[in-house]
Amino acid sequence: MERTLIIVKPDAVQRGLTGEVIKRFEQRGLKIVAMKFIHITEELAKKHYAVHEGKPFFEGLVSYITSSPVVVMALEGNDAIAAARKTIGATKPVEAEAGSIRGDFGMEIGRNLVHGSDSPENGLLEISNFFTAEEIYSWDRATDAWIQE
């Protein structure tokens, strides 16, 4: 089982798309094992985006992600990273497939609605930035047998 961090970013929250975003991941078959509504601090934003520190767009990323509340989730499933990223769509929304979150609702890379981890290792690291071990719940879902072999 893989886990991925998902952030429903400020633009999605402000546009009232939070429920739609969550719905798409659940309908895909990914299981929510942690979720909360938070306002990301500048310190946490810099930690989350540390890989981009020194790049021209770093300060803009930090400013954007801290501009409004977000929903953070840890999702679990077989190939959760690939499934989540396909559900999210290409980073540049105008290149994202129709039917993906970004393809259906996004226009610009700077307002691309959702973050998803890019590897299992980063998924675990990013989840640990936002959730304690006590906030993550492994649970049996009645529909799991109908989603996974």
Which sequence spans correspond to the domains of the chain?
2-138
The strand pairing partners of 44, in sequence order, are none
Q: Domain 2-138: give its CATH architecture.
A: 2-Layer Sandwich (3.30)
**H-helix or E-strand containing 147?**
helix 144-147
120-130 helix and 80-88 helix, angle to the nearest 10 degrees = 80
Q: How do residues 61-106 score in pLDDT, each as one tens digit?
A: 999 999 999 999 999 999 999 999 999 999 999 999 999 999 999 9
Is 39 annotated in the active site? Answer: no
Q: How do residues 23-65 score in pLDDT, each as one tens digit?
A: 999 999 999 999 999 999 999 999 999 999 999 999 999 999 9
With DSSP H G I counted as helix, E B as strand and the rest as coil, what are the percentages for the chain, rounded to 5?
45, 20, 35
- β-sheet with 31-38: strand ranges across: 31-38, 70-77, 2-8, 114-116
**pTM as predicted:** 0.95
Catalytic residue among 39, 48, 52, 115: 115
Query: Could you tell me the two tokens for 108?
Result: 């610009």
The strand pairing partners of 74, in sequence order, are 5, 34
